[in-house]
């Protein structure tokens, strides 16, 4: 059996979990969102995530002689625990970070391949700023950002809404 942290931090499985965190979906709808993932690969990774306890089947309904499942993320399993992070080696952390960055690159590449690319109209941005913060100040910033995201994370698709990827990376800007 694959360790939970290795199960979560695979590029395709990470994209699946990220998509399902916002909204439970059927494999067909998930395939529409992750268009570059072959259907057989998608089903294999969904099965691995469900078997590993990261996804659960929220609904089953009969469709043309088969069963259509709606998958959702098991909230308590969607991120690594402190123990999992503490026991990981420096090489493990580098691999996890590289997987995350690789996922960002794949998402941006898929966006950049669109024929009507317009970063301004699409409100695309990427930047890095250095902030001088105490631990308490940093914790307050993170709490405000988390609160803002939590207010909208369960929004459903609707006219005028567009799915947007919001990613954060935080690290010290200097050695200790």
**pLDDT of 33-88, one tens digit each?**
888 889 999 999 999 999 988 899 999 999 888 899 999 988 777 677 788 888 88
User: Options 1.10.150.120, 1.10.1040.10, 1.10.760.10, 1.10.10.10; which CATH number does 4-117 get?
Assistant: 1.10.10.10
The domain ranges of the chain are 4-117
Q: Is the pLDDT of residue 109 over 80?
A: yes
CB count, 10 Å around CB of 6? 14
What pLDDT score was predicted for residue 83?
A: 83
| Separation CA 84–CA 76 (nearest Å) | 14
Coil/strand/helix, residue 26: coil
Closest CA to 172 of 125, 127, 133, 141: 133
Q: pLDDT of 129-175, one tens digit each?
A: 999 999 999 999 999 999 999 899 888 889 999 888 888 888 888 87
For residue 47, the model assigns a pLDDT of 93
Q: Look-up: residue for tokens 């960002």? A: 104
Q: From CA 142, how far away is CA 137, in angstroms rounded?
A: 9
pTM for the structure as a whole: 0.66
């Amino acid at each position: 059996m694959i360790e939970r942290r290795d199960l979560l931090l695979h590029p395709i499985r990470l994209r699946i979990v990220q998509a399902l965190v916002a909204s439970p979906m059927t494999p067909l709808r998930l395939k529409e969102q992750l268009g570059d993932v072959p259907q057989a690969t998608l089903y294999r990774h969904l099965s691995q995530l469900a078997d590993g306890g990261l996804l659960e089947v929220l609904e089953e309904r009969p469709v043309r002689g088969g069963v259509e499942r709606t998958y959702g993320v098991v909230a308590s399993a969607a991120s690594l625990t402190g123990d999992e992070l503490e026991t990981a080696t420096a090489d493990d952390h580098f691999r996890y970070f590289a997987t995350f960055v690789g996922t960002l690159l794949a998402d941006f590449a898929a966006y950049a391949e669109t024929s009507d690319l317009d970063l301004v109209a699409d409100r695309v941005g990427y930047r890095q700023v250095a902030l001088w913060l105490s631990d308490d100040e940093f914790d307050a910033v993170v709490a405000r950002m988390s609160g803002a995201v939590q207010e909208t994370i369960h929004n459903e698709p609707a006219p005028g809404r567009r799915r947007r990827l919001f990613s954060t990376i935080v690290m010290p800007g200097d050695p200790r």
